[in-house]
Structure 1
Amino acid sequence: MQNSVTPTHCPYCALQCGMNLTPAPDGSVEVTERADFPVNRGALCGKGRTAPEVLSSRVRLTSPLVRSDEGTLVPASWEDALDRIAGALSAVRAEHGPDGVGVFGGGGLTNEKAYTLGKFARVVLGTSQIDYNGRFCMSSAAGAGIKAFGLDRGLPFPLEDIPRTGCVILVGSNPAETMPPSLRYFNELRENGGKLIVVDPRRTRTAEQADLHLAPRPGTDLALALGMLHLVVAEGRVDEEYVRRRTAGWEQARAVAMAHWPEYVERITGVSVPELREAVRMFCEPEAAMVLTARGPEQQSKGTDTVGAWINLCLATGRAGRPLSGYGCLTGQGNGQGGREHGQKADQLPGYRKLDDPAARRHVAEVWGVDPDSLPGPGRSAYELLDALGTDIRALLLMGSNPVVSAPRAAHIEERIRSLDFLAVCDVVLSETAALADVVLPVTQWAEETGTTTNLEGRVLLRRQALTPPEGVRSDLYVLHELAARFGVEKGFPVDPEEVFEELRRASAGGPADYSGITYRRLAEENGVFWPCPAPDEAGSDLAEGEDAVLDAPPADDPAGEAPAGLITAPAVHPGTPRLFLDRFATPDGRARFVPVPHRPSAEEPDEEYPVLLTTGRVVSQYQSGAQTRRVEELNNAAPGPFVELHPRLAARLGAAEGDPVAVVSRRGRAVAPARITTAIRPDTVFMPFHWPGAGRANTLTNPALDPTSRMPEFKVCAVRLEAVASGRVTGD
């Protein structure tokens, strides 16, 4: 593998940008452009360019660690570490039952790892207590998509469609910082004469590129969408024929929207009536348009309803299930889409099947070779699982997540983690959560292993191994294989990722996220395959009208592939499904569903004690909890630490100057970080990035109030007060 060029994909966001890796003799790794991959077309952000730096043994784990009698983590052998984990989990199961053990996964795990982790939890441990940090990412959009369309896939169309539509409303998304290579699609949209509307309480780098920036008060995106739908009705812009032919439930949704007249919505959101009218005009005048949401509207205690309101706007104007039109979610984590499709989510089985569906249980149990009745039922969602640590759940196996930094009400979650009888963590680096573990296992990274991920378009991709991992490092699949063996399960947990994927194909067959027609060979030869992609024996009836079957190979007596179609006997291969819903939606009758969703306040509104709103988010040079990016010098130089972004008027009332330490206090705790004063934010709102632990940990403040459908915490809005820090020093929590 040395000195050879390996085409692969970035380990960070859900774009999964293509890149080439070339090992150098000095042990470093060179990243070069991979222009053939259509998503990023060679472009990479700073995180992607510097991703190999985390491969260095200087910053990553290279030996198992176990907690000594003195309370410190010390190196240990793999045998000792695995024995300790198996022994501790067995003891907890014996005393507290299977649900005394929890499993927590991550949206960065490959499909193979996510699939195997879910299988391990349910088959080996027998626990229902499994969820993953992707619950904190796009679950509200998933809930709304399933209600409206019968199916959730981040984007139901490829990114290449964005520049060709007439208008895009981007709600609560800042791709200029969160996924910079995608910004070219929005720039090309405007170059082609299309319009970009950005909805964000901050004037972000993305909002600066927009034709229209709407800056609603945090937590009011639902009212904004309802106000726009009201105007669509009042101005006669409803696509009545489309609504009649392709939807159901319009009258109820219409009635709710008509109760949200523009002046009322202006009072709620702070967005003026003229701005509302202009947004409706820009969205409705072109033949095609899109709405794309991200964490802004989704990370709310009413996130599912909020996304549902934007979907209603698309349906009423005929902007869903048509070429160059639709609703989509800009998924955040690298494998956030695939991670929720194959079984590490509390209520799901592989193929995006529901765990409480008897037919789904029978199908997956047959693939796994177990009795369907042996599979546990749905468990707790991510925050509820973390909140139960140390009470009902006494031991936790955690892979690829850092909830000490990333969970809402983080100080409380840290206390719950510390109260566990036993914690085992598999990670690349010694994260803040791993530092609390009884056993830490060093596992392989993206460039050291082969596996598949599914990007925000629903495009299944093959990450290829480019490097040999350091001595002492093993894969997550090896960990699960060895632990299963220690529990007496000798088969069903292979270490080879392709073998796992072959089983995943069978387990997903016939499900909403059907991967059965996808193989490693296809992925190696193609730039990804869009699901659903059923296997050849299922494909004949599933090809969309007008699509041609792709052949594995021409018959032997026709090497040129020119025989008449009736003489070709090679099995058809489903081409994949880049664009969903063009003929029908994934509901029983093929119609999309309007869901009536009235506006309601956030779970926590400002008051005299906490008069300011806090919203959180990311910066361009860090990623998620920062466990990896905070170990890269170039990224730390660009974004060295947390800050509190506030408007000059708010700063003046506080008496704070640029760079002064400011305390932000909520009902859950206190965080301190330097002031960053700017007119790019509303005067009633402050912003903090959430990448750092310690004194500036933004998630110390955030509210764990949960959406009733998605169980998404309300990261994006809570009530706070600001305090000047007289000492000029940033102190601890």
Structure 2
Amino acid sequence: MTELLLKYFREKQKEVQAEKTYDTQCPFCSMQCKIQLIEQTIVTRKKYSAVGKDNPTTKGRLCMKGMNAHQHAFHPERITHPLLKQNGEFVRVSWEEALQYIREQVTNIQRENGCDAVGVYGSASLTNEEAYLLGKFARVALKTKHIDYNGRLCMSAAATAANQTFGMDRGLTNALSEIPHARVIILAGTNIAECQPTIMPYFEEAKENGAYIIVIDPRETATAGIADLHLNIKPGTDAALANGMLKIIIEEGLTDETFIRQRAEGFEDVKRYVTSLSLADISEKTGVPVDQIRKAAVKFAREETGMLFTARGVEQQTDGTAAVRNLLNILISVGKIGKFGCGYGAITGQGNGQGAREHGQKADQLPGYRSIENERHRAYIADVWGIAEDELPRKGVSAYEMMKKIHEGGITGMFFMCSNPVVSSPNANFVKAALKQLKFFAAVDLFMSETARLADVILPASSYLEDEGTMTNVEGRVTLREASKPCPGEARHDWQIICDIAEILGKGRFFSYESAEEIFNELRRASRGGIADYSGITYDRLRREGGILWPCPEQGHPGTERLFATEFAHPDKKAKMCVVPNEPAVKKDEPTEEYPLCLTTGRVMSHYLTGVQTRKSAALRARHFESFMEIHPKTAAKYKIEDRVLVKVESKRGSMVVRSKWSESIRPDTVFVPMHWADSQNVNSLVAEDLDPSCKMPGFKVTSVRIRPADDKIVNKLS
């Protein structure tokens, strides 16, 4: 038997005529796992397999998305040459034709409507180099103030809250390696088991070491499965829950008085407010029993070390900034920040969600996390870019507000880079109508996404296997993504496309780069002295060390593993606590008699964001080939919804049809729909356009809806 097996494997080995390997990083979540893709040529076909590579963050781990990421990069529907829309149909054109078309359109719009009439919509999937260059392109080549990016819909609440509280925002205030040493951990609105699976071993190790884990979520997710205490909260009431915990911590004398006195401001105002509140009222509002609120508060306060993590469940609210700030009030009140095993982590959603917001894609930011309204910051960046300070535009508006500007006629031309707001935005039908209204719309993408379909011209981009550059992961660790595979067809790197367009607009002298590394070296100079200081990081160091945590102000600097050990980043070196009312400033789209259920949204493990890439992967699509609505069996019985049937879900803004999925792990007053599907299954078409006043985050997690079985006409149409 052994001889037969050996003979079989020898014959199989002979079939492999060639083997190549490509070192890269996963293009999906913020863990940025390192990958080696193995390409085997067997007779006339190629076979691919992915293995994890050792690195400081994930130690060689991969999840199902990383193992199958290459499937979208090799998909036959990939765009590999420029496309121009003629008579309503896309036709293949040369790069020269596409670029000349862009030059004509931009020139005409800016002559007729001014420079600010052209907007730029970026992405947190871009490398740091490309995010930096896109911000420079908007302000130097186009001279427009209108640039923002899809990270506005993801991380903006946590980033704003951290900046307001600590004076700076980095994904984690500590390295991931400290998590196993925390004695108590709060996971608020984060389903890491499905969204960032390769981070889970850190929490599992903490649990093995005796950590007490508290999960705050309206669903009993896979993450809640590791919890010692699951607070089954009503969606959108996180700020009130935090007030309840603060009240208990303060009234039971569990605060760290020394830390508060020496390192914080605003505590007395917070104390005055929360002690005036009723725990019974908070319990009724949040749906969390008082004894559970007390248990969570006391446990978190009394343990020697503790960490707090938030994600979209808390942040994607019209009071997301306030809710995160209130959770940070808890952290400060017990002194669990700036110490070993103590700190805060905003679990970044997109692959480069951290780096993409640090270097100039946001409407109000310049590279290095500088402010575009700060005269000193403006002068420094203008000098780096070789322009006069008064040539720099001022701040623009947020991503969704740009769509309003289009409807109002203030923006008539747009560049989109690797983003899909027709699916990802709230009130998605409004966004689609806005894009149809544009005089000129250019998209840079891998595929004909739902947004790219509406473009006048599409330029083919390179994938993660082909595009070298740095990314900044969930920790704030800068990593180098190697990429040696040639671009297919006529596809070009995003940075090359930006330079090409700048050249035809007459701004080529500001964009004469030969490599991603050359751009990174300019980024290093632009970030020097800023909050997000990368100036001591080089490609050579990243290759040697595997990643470096910023700030890193000089080449001999090891990077900063733990922030706020002795001081915070505000001018007076103190953290800022603030009063957060139970009732948000912007009224939420809460259930009514007409729309009695609360819809909340999120992810599933096999898909990523709007699904443009993962829905092109056969292995991932097979796991979830359609959307669904998770509903409690009691609620299903009330509305006569059977399991696994088509259901019509309606809000004040639109409707969708999905398949029901009974689950006892969700609150009876709530239904859940994932966000990865488009068209008739686009859940964001139901979401209100109201925005957080501080960070302009939409309220994706709370939408009032009604449900009913889909009628035969709809069923027949979809079948």
Is the pair's TM-score, using the shorter chain for normalization, greater than 0.5?
A: yes
Task: Give distance in 2, aligned partners of 1:604 and 1:436.
Answer: 30
Residue number in structure 2 paired with 1:578: 561
Task: Give distance in 2, aligned partners of 1:355 and 1:256.
Answer: 35
Task: Give distance in 2, aligned partners of 1:671 and 1:688.
Answer: 10
Q: Which amino acid aligns with 1:618?
A: R
Q: Does 1:718 align with 2:703?
A: yes
Q: How does 1:557-576 map to 2 (within 5 A)?
A: 573-576=556-559
Residue number in structure 1 paired with 2:416: 398
- Encode CA deviations 1:202-222: one digit per residue, 9 max, x unaligned: 011111111110011111000
* Preserved CA contact (<8 Å) 1:147 1:595: no
Residue 122 of structure 1, aligned match among 128, 135, 139: 139
Q: CA deviation at 1:649?
A: 1.6
Residue 188 of structure 2, aligned match among 171, 194, 213: 171
* Preserved CA contact (<8 Å) 2:428 2:684: yes
Q: Which amino acid aligns with 1:712?
A: M
Task: Give distance in 2, aligned partners of 1:85 and 1:238.
Answer: 60
Residue number in structure 2 paired with 1:687: 672
* Preserved CA contact (<8 Å) 1:405 1:693: yes
SS in 2 for 1:615: strand
* Preserved CA contact (<8 Å) 2:22 2:465: no
Q: Does 1:347 align with 2:338?
A: no
SS in 2 for 1:706: coil
**Alpha carbon RMSD of aligned pairs, Å?**
1.3
SS in 2 for 1:144: helix
Q: CA deviation at 1:489?
A: 1.3
SS in 2 for 1:662: strand
Task: Give distance in 1, aligned partners of 2:106 and 2:613.
Answer: 28
Task: Give distance in 1, aligned partners of 2:490 and 2:117.
Answer: 30
Flag the 1:90–1:702 CA change in 2: closer, same or farther, 3 A. Answer: same
Residue 599 of structure 2, aligned match among 614, 636, 639: 614
Residue 532 of structure 1, aligned match among 551, 574, 580: 551
Q: CA deviation at 1:3?
A: 4.3
Q: CA deviation at 1:496?
A: 1.1
- Encode CA deviations 1:482-503: one digit per residue, 9 max, x unaligned: 1111111122212411110010
Task: Give distance in 2, aligned partners of 1:21 and 1:462.
Answer: 16
Q: Does 1:22 align with 2:38?
A: yes
Residue 289 of structure 1, aligned match among 299, 302, 306: 306
Residue number in structure 2 paired with 1:652: 637
Residue 599 of structure 1, aligned match among 582, 589, 592: 582
Residue 435 of structure 1, aligned match among 453, 458, 464: 453
Q: Which moved more, 1:321-330 or 1:112-121?
A: 321-330
Q: CA deviation at 1:273?
A: 0.7
Q: CA deviation at 1:4?
A: 4.7
Residue number in structure 1 paired with 2:5: none
Provide runs of 4+ in structure 1 moved above 4 Å.
none
* Preserved CA contact (<8 Å) 1:114 1:343: yes
- Encode CA deviations 1:40-88: one digit per residue, 9 max, x unaligned: 11221111000111111513111111101x2101111111111111211
Q: Does 1:666 align with 2:651?
A: yes
Residue number in structure 1 paired with 2:216: 199
Aligned-residue identity in percent? 45
Task: Give distance in 1, aligned partners of 2:717 and 2:370.
Answer: 47
Residue number in structure 2 paired with 1:626: 611
Task: Give distance in 2, aligned partners of 1:76 and 1:621.
Answer: 35
- Encode CA deviations 1:3-26: one digit per residue, 9 max, x unaligned: 454433111011101221233334
* Preserved CA contact (<8 Å) 2:149 2:362: yes
* Preserved CA contact (<8 Å) 1:18 1:39: no
SS in 2 for 1:102: strand
Q: Does 1:47 align with 2:65?
A: yes
Q: Which amino acid aligns with 2:543?
A: A
- Encode CA deviations 1:250-283: one digit per residue, 9 max, x unaligned: 1011112213332121011010011111112321
Q: CA deviation at 1:724?
A: 2.0
Residue number in structure 2 paired with 1:264: 281
Q: How does 1:429-468 map to 2 (within 5 A)?
A: 429-468=447-486
Q: CA deviation at 1:33?
A: 2.0
Residue 519 of structure 1, aligned match among 538, 550, 555: 538
Q: Does 1:85 align with 2:90?
A: no
Q: Which amino acid aligns with 1:716?
A: K
Q: Which amino acid aligns with 2:128?
A: N
Q: Does 1:76 align with 2:93?
A: yes
Q: CA deviation at 1:329?
A: 0.5
Task: Give distance in 1, aligned partners of 2:21 and 2:89.
Answer: 41
Q: Which amino acid aligns with 2:715?
A: R
Q: Which moved more, 1:604-613 or 1:307-316?
A: 604-613
Q: CA deviation at 1:731?
A: 5.6
Task: Give distance in 2, aligned partners of 1:446 and 1:29.
Answer: 15
Residue 132 of structure 1, aligned match among 149, 159, 171: 149
* Preserved CA contact (<8 Å) 2:186 2:309: yes
* Preserved CA contact (<8 Å) 1:155 1:327: yes
SS in 2 for 1:271: coil
Q: CA deviation at 1:38?
A: 2.4
* Preserved CA contact (<8 Å) 1:223 1:260: no
Task: Give distance in 2, aligned partners of 1:223 and 1:611.
Answer: 21
Residue number in structure 2 paired with 1:704: 689
Task: Give distance in 1, aligned partners of 2:176 and 2:22.
Answer: 25
Task: Give distance in 2, aligned partners of 1:661 and 1:476.
Answer: 40
Q: CA deviation at 1:647?
A: 1.0
Task: Give distance in 1, aligned partners of 2:100 and 2:505.
Answer: 10
Task: Give distance in 2, aligned partners of 1:722 and 1:218.
Answer: 18
Task: Give distance in 2, aligned partners of 1:251 and 1:651.
Answer: 47
Task: Give distance in 2, aligned partners of 1:254 and 1:492.
Answer: 53
SS in 1 for 2:69: helix
Q: Which amino acid aligns with 2:70?
A: P
* Preserved CA contact (<8 Å) 1:704 1:715: no
Residue number in structure 1 paired with 2:51: 32
* Preserved CA contact (<8 Å) 1:661 1:730: no
Task: Give distance in 1, aligned partners of 2:180 and 2:672.
Answer: 30
Residue number in structure 1 paired with 2:83: 65
Q: CA deviation at 1:389?
A: 2.1
Q: Which amino acid aligns with 2:523?
A: L
Residue number in structure 2 paired with 1:552: none
Task: Give distance in 2, aligned partners of 1:29 and 1:344.
Answer: 35
Flag the 1:272–1:296 CA change in 2: closer, same or farther, 3 A. Answer: same
Residue 396 of structure 2, aligned match among 368, 376, 379: 379
Task: Give distance in 2, aligned partners of 1:302 and 1:689.
Answer: 21
- Encode CA deviations 1:687-728: one digit per residue, 9 max, x unaligned: 110100121110011122111111111111111111221216
Q: How does 1:235-314 map to 2 (within 5 A)?
A: 235-314=252-331
SS in 1 for 2:509: coil
Q: CA deviation at 1:28?
A: 4.5
Residue number in structure 1 paired with 2:118: 101
How many residue pairs get aligned? The number is: 693
Residue 643 of structure 1, aligned match among 628, 644, 647: 628
Task: Give distance in 2, aligned partners of 1:177 and 1:307.
Answer: 22
Task: Give distance in 2, aligned partners of 1:399 and 1:357.
Answer: 27
* Preserved CA contact (<8 Å) 1:23 1:467: no
Q: Which amino acid aligns with 2:592?
A: D
Task: Give distance in 2, aligned partners of 1:371 and 1:206.
Answer: 51
Task: Give distance in 2, aligned partners of 1:600 and 1:365.
Answer: 43
Residue number in structure 2 paired with 1:550: none
Flag the 1:27–1:116 CA change in 2: closer, same or farther, 3 A. Answer: farther
* Preserved CA contact (<8 Å) 2:147 2:362: yes
Task: Give distance in 2, aligned partners of 1:698 and 1:628.
Answer: 18
Gaps of 5+ in 1: 537-572
Q: Which amino acid aligns with 2:423?
A: V
Flag the 1:491–1:216 CA change in 2: closer, same or farther, 3 A. Answer: same
- Encode CA deviations 1:607-631: one digit per residue, 9 max, x unaligned: 1111111100000001000000001
Q: Which amino acid aligns with 2:624?
A: A
Gaps of 5+ in 2: 1-17
Q: Name the TM-score, length of structure 1 as normaliser.
A: 0.93
Residue number in structure 2 paired with 1:561: none
Task: Give distance in 2, aligned partners of 1:475 and 1:667.
Answer: 41
SS in 2 for 1:636: helix
Q: Which amino acid aligns with 2:685?
A: T
